[in-house]
Structure 1
Amino acid sequence: MLRTIGLKLVRLVPVLFIVSAATSLLIELVPGDPVLAIIGMESTAEDYQRIRTELGLDQNVASRYIDWLGGIVQGDFGESITRAGFGVADLLKQSFPVTIQIALTGMLMALIISVPMGSWAAYRAGTRFDRFSSGSAFAIISVPSFLAGLLLIFLFVFHVSIPRYGVLVLGLAWALWLLGRAVRRRSEGEGRVLLQAAAALVVAGLTVWLANKWPSFNRQGFDRLTSDEGVLENLRDSFLPSLTVALTEIAVFMRLLRADMQSTLQEDYILSARAKGMPPVRILARDALRPSSFSLITLAGVAFGRLIGGTVIVESIFNLRGMGSLIVNDGVNTGDFPVVQGGVLVLATFYVALNGIIDISYNYLDPRLRRAR
């Protein structure tokens, strides 16, 4: 295990070197002059050249990259060019927690919803639930993230009664369906009927409570976990942005897991468990999910890294000061290359480390990989 971790760390260095060097070259191709952003268009040629020399912009890109790399090795990310007095490390500390929370919460939402739905759709392949979930997944995938964010704002901010009454109607309909099922299966025994009737009452009670306690959400802004408002306010502010980035992942994860698990459910040991009368929940959760989760874990790791680096649209819609806004608005648009280089390096480090952790986790999911080593 230590050898595997060591190899992953060794491979991390050249990847980050290539990413940082490519970023330095690409930032030169972006139009715009950071000196003009600082002193304005009406400055004199002497002032322009003096500021350019002070910032080190009179050097070639290779010299600037070597100087920047030397500072990174010592833990110094440098100073922002266009925001005097602000260190790049301080800007990253302000922006990264926002992005990582949105991405992490969105990923948790996607997994919590997609895993049970994809598993049950595979188990009940061809049924009405399978057709409904598959159609819903295709519909969600076709909706771009910016449109999904605007629709969520329309429903959860400006027209709160629509989702509240929608949850109430769906929850009560589910409770009535459970109650009707209990009545239809009364021949199976009084105990089973009472259990299903109790489940119907629990669903109805939770639905009414949720509709009564339905929270209101803010259009924009973000209170951090460390703010005086507390955890609940932070979760309320992060719910809509996280749901926006989670919607597409929910659909993709559910379709992928359904396909993999549908194949796993045809294995002999699954058929044997069914023949022994094992409960469907046990078969899905303990026997079928583990071997069917390799593709899902790989895709989740790639998607998580993509969410961290690609939330700029969501951050713009909800007015969040995350990594996307920092790199694009404060870095690329103004030519502030230390901000761009520092932000890309942090995202690349996190992304590569996350995929290394996923590779290592395969050893625990599949014992055959441990034996092969």
Structure 2
Amino acid sequence: MVLVTMVVSLLMALTPGSVAEAILGQNATPENVAALNAKLGLDKPLWQQYLSWLGNALHGDLGTSPLTGQPVSSAIAERAPVTVELAVLSLVIALALALLFAVLGATWPRGRFDRFLNALSSVLLSVPAFIAGPILVYFLSVQTGLFPVLGWAPLDEGLGANLESAFLPALSVALVEIASFHRLLRADLTSTLREEYIDAARARGMSHAYVLFRHALRPSSFSLVTIFGISLGRMIGGTVIVETLFALPGLGQLIVTSIGSRDVIMVQGVVAFTGVVYVAINTVVDLSYGLIDPRVRRAVTA
């Protein structure tokens, strides 16, 4: 976390301009800019600015935006629900479709449908969110009118309107994850279905569906859970692009706007919050291994 925030501070310092210039406008004199920088403490060496921010952050104070005067924690609290909903909905879509595709592919391996799904996964892996978004908007919004083109409907306007405005952005983020989740789970399922205990279960007369979901799916999901935590970073990056593309009032749009206005305090606060969430989720993923595979619990106990 310290390394990430240090790099953000350094990169923001290397960008031309300053928040003082953004506040005063293009007609500001160098003297006025220098005076405002001194008032904001931006005339100090970079390491002093960073240590001052870090000390406050360790006590729960992420600072106040000099551009808007809004506390960073307040801005995060306002916009985080949009980003969290977008990320959760993307994960639900990705996991649901990947599970369906993997089960179908593992049930009839090397069949026509399995080959089609593998080819589709290759296409989805090569389409980033900033390309998938406009394509989905054109076909599902402009041509059919099924979903709104831009904007966000909060939950207080109704669950239906909220999901309608969130579906296309979430699907744009989920497409790449669908492909990666499907390929990984399909390969593990196919391998697990060749195990001897699976043959023994079939020999006892158990149905294919029961063997698949009761005995094969759980041990095959170990790798998927691992990649789930790692893929969160890609999804966070995808939400930044998609929120800007669909004009969603989330953390992604906030950080893009703050970078453009050289609002270092806001950028550092959002990055720190996102990093904490990322680390926390990966920690939960690590702790969940024992719940998925009993062999992990036995190894830890031993």
Give the TM-score normalised by the residue count of structure 1: 0.77
- Confirm or deny: 8 A CA contact 1:105 1:242 kept in the other structure: yes
- Confirm or deny: 8 A CA contact 1:309 1:323 kept in the other structure: no
Which piece of structure 1 moves more, 262-271 or 308-317?
308-317
Aligned to 1:199: none
Aligned to 1:264: 192
- Confirm or deny: 8 A CA contact 2:247 2:253 kept in the other structure: no
Residue from 273, 281, 292 that aligns with 1:354:
281
Q: Which amino acid aligns with 2:123?
A: A
Deviation string, structure 1 residues 296-352 (Cα, Å, up to 9, x no partner): 11111211232124322211221112222211222x222111011101101100001
- Confirm or deny: 8 A CA contact 2:90 2:173 kept in the other structure: yes
Q: Larger radius of gyration, structure 1 or 2?
A: 1
Aligned to 1:24: 9
Question: In the comparison of the two structures, how many residue pairs are matched?
Answer: 300
1:28 is paired with a residue whose SS is: helix
Aligned to 2:266: 339
What pairs up with 1:297-312 in 2 under 5 angstroms? 297-312=225-240
Aligned to 1:224: 154
Give the TM-score normalised by the residue count of structure 2: 0.94
Deviation string, structure 1 residues 33-89 (Cα, Å, up to 9, x no partner): 211111123223432222111110011111111211222122221111222x22211
Q: Structure 1: 5+ residue runs without aligned partners?
A: 1-15, 162-215
Mapped pair 1:132 → 2:60: no
Aligned to 1:154: 138
- Confirm or deny: 8 A CA contact 1:152 1:240 kept in the other structure: yes
Going from structure 1 to structure 2, the CA distance change for 1:44 and 1:150 (only over 3 Å counts) comes to closer
Aligned to 1:241: 169
Q: Which amino acid aligns with 1:17?
A: V
Task: Measure the CA separation in 1 of the matches of 2:185 and 2:263.
Answer: 42
Task: Measure the CA separation in 2 of the matches of 1:341 and 1:223.
Answer: 28
Shift of 1:291: 1.0
Aligned to 1:323: 251
Task: Measure the CA separation in 2 of the matches of 1:260 and 1:149.
Answer: 30
Task: Measure the CA separation in 2 of the matches of 1:349 and 1:322.
Answer: 17
Deviation string, structure 1 residues 213-251 (Cα, Å, up to 9, x no partner): xxx3111111222x2x11111111101101111111111
Shift of 1:18: 2.4
CA RMSD of aligned residues (A): 1.5
Aligned to 2:78: 94
Q: Percent identity?
A: 43
Aligned to 1:44: 29
- Confirm or deny: 8 A CA contact 1:104 1:304 kept in the other structure: no
Q: Structure 2: 5+ residue runs without aligned partners?
A: none
* Divergent runs of 4+, >6 A: none
Mapped pair 1:295 → 2:223: yes
